[in-house]
Amino acid sequence: MFSKKTTEQIKFETRPSNLGAKSFYNNPKYRAWIYQSFLFIFLIGFFYSIISNTLDNMSAQGIKSGFSFLNTSAGFDVLMSLLPFQTTDSYLKVFTIGILNTILVSIIGIIFSTLLGFIFGIAYFSRNYLIKKIAIIYVEIFRNIPVILQVIFWYTVFNALPIARESLNLGDTIFLNVTGLYLPMLVGESGSGFVYTAIAVAIVSIFLVRRWATKRQEKTGEQFPILWISLGLLFGLPLLVLLVSGVPFHFDYPALKGFNFRGGITVIPELISLAIALSIYTGAFIAEAVRAGIQSVPSGQTEAARSLGLKESKIMSLIVVPQSMRVITPMLNSEYQSLVKNTTIATAIGYPELFTVFAGSVLNQVGQAVEIMFMTLVIYFCINMTISFVMNRFNKRSELTTR
Amino acid sequence: MKAKEYKPLPDQAAPISTIGVIAWLRNNLFSSPFNIAVTIVIVAVLMAIVPGMLDWLIFSANWSGTTQADCVKDGACWVFISAWSQQIFYGSYPDGEIWRVNLSLMLLAGVIALSFILPARLRNKVSVPAYLFLPFVCLLILDGSHIGLRQVTTDLWGGFSLNILIAAASIIIAFPFGFLWALGRQSDMPFARSVSVTCIEFFRGTPILALFFMGSVMLPLFFPADVSVDKLLRVWIILILFMSAYMAEVFRSGFAAIPKGQYEAADSLGLGYWQKTLLIIFPQVIKVSMPNILATFVMVFKNTVFLLVIAVPEMLQVIMAALSNSNWLGGHAIEGYLFVGFIFWICCFSMSLLATSIEKKLDTSHKH
């Protein structure tokens, strides 16, 4: 209860009362009120002038306000969309497509940057001199070059690839050329539902088995080959169902028709360049975080584990990594958030994510800067809040596993 | 009888396999079958890539000349960089006036040097005002119309000097703002605290590119119709606000690192709030936050490249403009981007080395 008072308040209360120090302006409570009311008046004036100026300027320039523009037809095409899109569709649809594209590239970026980050972060501790040096060089090079330059660089490299007819060919199934990456697509026929169900069942049963195994180990100390059983379940069960139901799948291979490829999945060069640049750039930061996290685990922990007779691999997975996660997770959280914010650099190469299509193209056509920027920023805040929420939940768990 | 003198045998040399190059190779490259395999693969890959790369970059590169026609060899065409070097560093700043950019850069270097060499008792009194006045002095010198020089409008400023100057000018002005927001964030006044938190979280949560965009499309709407604010000035305002939010977080962790005893000692000496904060806490916060301040500066310095999106002629924008110049349509994009990347890498890497060395100097904790 004592700590809730400020030092100024304590000073005031413990001051001898005959000094006349009880005068109004010396009371920290009133002072706080006075300062804050000044701040309040300043803010009111500030926002009032901004808003009135904005309204004046907008009416002078003939810009409408409100969100009615969202239902107007866009009239331009979007380079890539996860939903079917026509030029006659509304701005709201463009907005949705922008959000989806942002989320897509964020997820790809987060997955690959985490992989790169953990690989290079752990490689830093390798006993092999070359691996260690490569990890350091990777981090120091890519962390210190502006990400927007990296994305433009990769895009330029991509544009130097051969044309469709001479595309790089991997076993006649995967093609890479200047117009993009072409992957075969798995198409489910009737009966494929059984396989999906089998995958779901496998995942659920893996969770159940893991739980049971942990409980049994806590009770009896017996270990269960959880990794092999999990892998067996994950691949075996769907495979079995697949064979029993008569392989209800076929691949849709991309094929050269005319000047370009048809069929399969097309990944546009903008998406690839952006994903590469973001993954490599953020990966360097994550590698640094992982290195710091592992270094933060006191060496006494490793030594104690060794003296207990644990294998080196078990020391890493059971002792060091769980404790280092406490340091790594908050840093991962901020790296993921900055990755999402950095997706906006897509505007330099024209990948149609939220910022490029909505704050770029739509804003150019409509001119309602305030509404459009507001909507765009709200989405980035929402995505980052979701990441923050998930990572904080994860952090709670990793905190529990430590002392 | 004389005691027999004890004569130790001469030291035996260490086994050849535990010293020198061989031992190093064994321990660091060939310690296990897995490591042997990895080493061989890495060396093979390096052998395949590095000679070709070096050849392209250095040995068969074109180093001398003035026009694209001088690039006759197979390698990189560095002539492109040297031909455009003035634009790359100074933008379109007029030829005869470039000394003003150099003077501004030298002033910046001088003020930084001053804060290191001045004796401690003068440091705060001289350096702090020097830093705070520097951006405005540079502004006067570069613009020139108020001090009797030829006016150079801001659309002519550009190149790498712009990257440096705008980053430095923003972080300098962001210092007091960030400090104020950090104080607000840990103050006891609920309204002041929530205002600070809102500011910090807003500017930290918004992509810098969106902020630049807002600076170019929204900020003009905020000013009265008859006031037109220069584009570079708007960018500066945006960068200051953005940096302030990050600096506030840096200072917050700095505040947390100051032992409570320091506050209590200041209180027991009878210092008031501002005396305590500015005389006791602030110098210590600056000291412990130095590595983080440098890291933040590296971040804003890298972020200045983002300005190309709103067509401010910073370094990369100049390169891109040069690439589309009709005399240089030979596809020198890779050279240009590598050069920009190299320059930024040198600057950022040396600053992060500096930050690490300061951190090591400050770190007196014991490793467990």
pLDDT of residue A402: 47
How many helices (H) and strands (E) chain A has is answered by 14, 8
Which residue in chain A is spatially nearest to B308 when comparing CA positions? Answer: A348
Is the model's pLDDT at B368 over the cut of 80?
no
Q: How many domains is chain A partitioned into structurally?
A: 2
Q: How far is A358 from chain B (nearest CA, A)?
A: 11
Q: Is residue A179 part of a domain?
A: no
pLDDT of residue A403: 46
B195 at interface of A, judged by CB pairs closer than 8 A: yes
Print the domain residue range for A19: 7-61
Q: Is residue A113 part of a domain?
A: yes
Q: Is residue A186 part of a domain?
A: no
Residue B18 Cα distances to A204, A320, B11, B28, angstroms = 54, 30, 15, 12
Q: Is residue A250 part of a domain?
A: no
Span B242-253, pLDDT tens digits? 999 999 999 998
Which residue in chain A is spatially nearest to B297 when comparing CA positions? Answer: A144
∠ CA A292-A293-A295, rounded to 5°:
65
Residue A20 Cα distances to A15, A17, A24, B157, B271, angstroms = 10, 7, 10, 59, 19
- For B334-356, what is the mean pLDDT? 91
Q: Are residues A292 and A394 in the same domain?
A: yes
- Which two tokens mark B138? 């540079």
Note whether A345 contacts B306, CB cutoff 8 Å: yes
Q: Are residues A110 and A47 in the same domain?
A: no
Q: Are residues A295 and A392 in the same domain?
A: yes
Which CATH number goes with the domain that contains A121? 1.10.3720.10
Beta carbons within 8 Å of A125's beta carbon, 6+ residues apart: A132, A291, A294
- Which two tokens mark B238? 């945006």
Element (H, E) at A154: helix A147-159
Q: Is residue A187 part of a domain?
A: no
| Domain boundary, last residue among A61, A82, A100 | A61
pLDDT of residue A128: 85
- Which residues between 30 and 49 in chain B have a beta carbon less than 8 angstroms from any beta carbon of chain A? 31, 35, 38-39, 42-43
Selection from A359, A367, A394 nearest residue A102 by Cα: A359
- From first to last of the 403 residues of chain A, give the pLDDT tens digit: 445 666 667 666 666 555 555 567 777 778 888 888 999 999 999 999 988 988 888 888 877 777 888 888 877 878 887 888 887 888 888 899 999 999 999 999 999 999 999 999 988 888 888 889 999 999 999 999 999 999 999 998 888 888 777 777 777 778 888 888 888 887 777 777 788 888 888 889 888 888 888 888 888 877 777 778 888 888 888 888 888 877 777 777 777 777 777 777 888 889 999 999 999 999 999 999 999 999 888 889 989 999 999 887 788 888 888 888 888 888 999 999 999 999 999 998 988 889 988 888 888 888 888 888 899 999 999 999 999 999 888 888 776 554 4
- Picking from A54, A130, A157, the nearest residue to B29 by CB comes out as A130
pLDDT of residue A15: 63
Band (pLDDT 50/70/90 cuts) for residue B340 is very high
pLDDT of residue B250: 92
A127 at interface of B, judged by CB pairs closer than 8 A: yes
Element (H, E) at B351: helix B333-362
Q: Are residues A281 and A381 in the same domain?
A: yes
Q: Are residues A289 and A160 in the same domain?
A: yes
Helices (H), A308-402: 312-314, 321-342, 354, 363-366, 369-400
Span B294-313, pLDDT tens digits? 999 999 999 999 998 888 88
Q: Are residues A56 and A97 in the same domain?
A: no
- pTM for this entry: 0.86
Q: Are residues A22 and A162 in the same domain?
A: no
- For B153-171, what is the mean pLDDT? 90
- For B332-341, what is the mean pLDDT? 89
Q: Are residues A160 and A291 in the same domain?
A: yes
Q: Is residue A71 part of a domain?
A: no
Q: Is residue A174 part of a domain?
A: no
Q: Are residues A14 and A107 in the same domain?
A: no
ipTM field: 0.88
| Domain boundary, last residue among A20, A39, A61 | A61
Which residue in chain B is spatially nearest to A46 when comparing CA positions? Answer: B222
Note whether B214 contacts A299, CB cutoff 8 Å: no
Q: Are residues A396 and A293 in the same domain?
A: yes
Note whether B217 contacts A369, CB cutoff 8 Å: yes
- Which residues between 146 and 165 in chain A have a beta carbon less than 8 angstroms from any beta carbon of chain B? 146-150, 152-153, 156-157
Cβ–Cβ contacts within 10 Å for residue B126, how many?
A: 15
Element (H, E) at A139: helix A129-143
Q: Are residues A292 and A161 in the same domain?
A: yes
Q: Which of A148, A342, A368, A370 to mutate to test the interface with B (most CBs of B within 10 A)?
A: A148
Q: Are residues A285 and A354 in the same domain?
A: yes
Q: Is residue A82 part of a domain?
A: no
